[in-house]
Every structure is written in structure tokens, then in C-alpha cells.
Copies of this chain bind each other. A is one copy, B any other.
Amino acid sequence: MPNSVPTTTSSATPVDDPGAPRFLASDNTSGICPEAMEYLVQANQVDDLAYGNDRWTAKASDRFRELFETDCEVFFVFNGTAANSLALASTCQSYHSVICHQLAHIETDECGGPEFFSNGSKLLTVAGDNGRVTPERIATTVTRRGDIHYPRPRAVSLTQATEVGTVYALDELHAIHDVADQHGLRIHMDGARFANACAGLDASPADLTWRAGVDVLCFSGTKNGLGFGEAVIFFDRELAEDFGYRCKQAGQLASKMRFLSAPWLGLLESGAWLSNAQHANAMARRLAAGVEALDGVRLMFPVQANSVFLELAPATQQALRDSHWTFYTFIGEGGARFVCSWNTTPALIDSLIEDLRQALRS
């Protein structure tokens, strides 16, 4: 790709401005990474056809097929709620249900999007350690009711990486696939942090999806360095039937589609989709390592992707907030969540560790 276009870097949170907010609340506070911005600017050089008939969209789709080593169907939509909800609706009718973890984003943070897009499908939530659904829980849930007075389970939704920053290992995915197959359940993967899972497991996208029985993946670009944009990737092509119509009707067909697909192409051609995730994961591990030795801090979950959940005393939390750190405490099972991104700097992490150390001392 041309590098004649002007560099348009997004800096991470500056650490030298003591009054500035310090963003570790989520990986959606960061901006657009250079590789994505370059392609966006490039796609803006000349006019092009609308609705995906441009020079970028087919190319981006083909790159996904290469990345996943299979002839999957690829659709670009605007955000994660839409991606998940539309993908789930392709597996379900309104009188069906989807089994998911009780901390799953589709249950806790999409304002009933899955129920809306499917016109009423029910989410059947299950508990599970470290944010993971287990084959046993799936089996129990799917067999609990078999009468028409309760929505029939038709899909399992897995979040990879999970809402608490852990990942499903390959053998866990295969065990889930077995039980899903046994009960005629499709597998949907909420890949809001799919790249982070690939990086964390050092596993290929193909191994983590269709080779493990995943039927449809929602691969987030927004959290991986785009401004907007998720790819819905169908490994079971039957589920994709008329999915273009579904997206259009649901307000998810971008007319200037190239501004969704070209940035994706930037991530894929440059390899930034993976290096961004590797960097974010490394920053999370740096944070985990830095606080391990601190008294008064407990790591709540294994750090396997780009999130770190810390159990902190209220006073410690307040001290951090006073130093302009942004973080959430209501996500997952409580605790303070810090999420690293493609542009989180080691300096920022170190500064957090230092501030934590200070807070704990006093």
C-alpha cells in the first residue's frame, strides 16, 4: 500500500499530562490505528461504487478467507451489538433460545439487542468459572426442558476471549462442540476480542473457529484498531442465506461501505490485526506482573488476553480515580477492570503500577 498518504497516528493516553484522563476503561477508548487510517485515507482518494461494490470490500473478504483458510461468507456491519444479534438471529427463530454465560455481553450489555433482532429469542444463561461456559452446563440446560412451553435451545454463544479476560483453550472448544453437536446446537462466537484470543493462545483463526465447530464468528474490528466495524464470518454458509437482506433491513448496510472494509483490509494486509492484539495482551501481562507482588491487590482471573481484573479496596479505587484513571467496576463479577489496547504504552502501564503502589502505601 502507498505510504504517500500523510501519517495520522493516534497517540495513547499521554502520561506526562497529570490532569489528563488515563484510559484503561476499555479497548474502545483508543482510536484508529495507523494501518487502518492509512487505508481509510487511501479509500477516500477517488469516488467508488456504494454498498460494497467498490475496490475494497471484495478484497477484504478474500483476505478473511485466506486468514481463516476456508471459503467462508463475510459481511461487514457497524458494531458489535448488531453483529452478535444478527448472527444469532440467523441461528434462531423467535421461539428458540441461546445458551450463554451469565456474564456474556449479549446478556449484560446489549440492551436486549439479541431479543430485538430475533423478535424474542430467549437467552438461557449459565454460570461457569472464569467466564467460561462448560459442556456440562450446556448439556444440563439443553435437556432441562423439552416441552413447547419453553423456548427450544438452538445455539450456544461463546465469548472468545471471555468477558473476564480468559480464553477457551482448543480442547475446551472441542468438548463444547461435541455436546453442541449432540443436541443440534449451532455455535456462535462473540469475538469482541477474538484477535486477543488468537494472540493469547498462539492459535490460528481457523483452529479457533470452524475447526472447532464454530458456525459463525463476530470478529470485532472496533476493539482491534478500527473506528467502527465488525466482520460477521459464516463458516456454515447455509446460515448466511439472504444475510445481506437481513443486514440491509436492520440498518447495517453501509452505503459508503469502503470506509468499513478498507480499514479492515489495512488490518489484515499489514498483520496489525494480530500485532495490535499481541501488543495489548503484552501490556495486560505487564500490568499483571507489576501488581503481583503488591499487597492489597488480587488478580481475580488469569490474564490470558488484554484485560486485567483487580480486587481493590474502595479507598485504593478512589485513589486511582483521583489520579484520573478510568476503569469500570461493574463488568464481569466486579473488581476493577483495566483493558489494554493497541496503543496502550508501557509507560502508561508502569505509571498505573506506580500509582497503585502509592495508593496502597497510604
Tally of this chain's copies: 4
Q: Which B residues are CB-close (under 8 A) to A168? A: none
Task: Establish whether residues A245 and B152, one from each chain, have CB atoms under 8 Å apart when the complex forms.
Answer: yes
Q: Is A18 an interface residue (CB 8 A)?
A: no
Q: Is A203 an interface residue (CB 8 A)?
A: no
Q: Which B residues are CB-close (under 8 A) to A10? A: 44-47
| Bound: A5/B8 CA distance, A | 8
Q: Which B residues are CB-close (under 8 A) to A251? A: 77-79, 81-83, 85-86, 113, 117, 250-252
Contact string against B for A residues 1-44, beta-carbon threshold 8 Å, 1 for contact and 0 otherwise: 00001111011111000001101011011111000010011011
CB distance from A225 to the nearest CB of B (A): 11
Q: Choose from B50, B86, B97, B222 the contact partner of A255 (Cβ within 8 Å).
A: B222
Q: Is A246 an interface residue (CB 8 A)?
A: yes
Contact string against B for A residues 92-134, beta-carbon threshold 8 Å, 1 for contact and 0 otherwise: 0111110000000000111111011101111000000000000
Mark out the residues of chain A between 309 and 362 whose CB falls within 8 Å of any chain B CB in the assembled complex.
Answer: 326, 343
CB distance from A97 to the nearest CB of B (A): 7
Q: Which B residues are CB-close (under 8 A) to A11? A: 45-47
Q: Is A48 an interface residue (CB 8 A)?
A: yes
**Interface stretch (choices A57-65, A143-151, A279-287, A294-302):** A143-151
Contact string against B for A residues 136-171, beta-carbon threshold 8 Å, 1 for contact and 0 otherwise: 000000000000111110000000000000000000
Q: Given contacts A249-B112, A251-B79, are A256 and B222 in contact (CB under 8 A)?
A: yes
Q: Which B residues are CB-close (under 8 A) to A245? A: 93, 95-96, 111, 148, 151-152
Chain A positions within 8 Å of B, measured between CB atoms, are 5-8, 10-14, 20-21, 23, 25-26, 28-32, 37, 40-41, 43-51, 77-83, 85-86, 93-97, 108-113, 115-117, 119-122, 148-152, 222, 227-228, 242, 244-256, 259-260, 326, 343
Q: 4 tightest CB-CB pairs across the interface, nearest first?
A: A82-B251, A6-B6, A116-B120, A115-B120
9 CB-based A-B contacts, threshold 8 Å = A10-B44, A20-B46, A25-B50, A78-B78, A80-B255, A94-B249, A95-B116, A109-B150, A112-B151
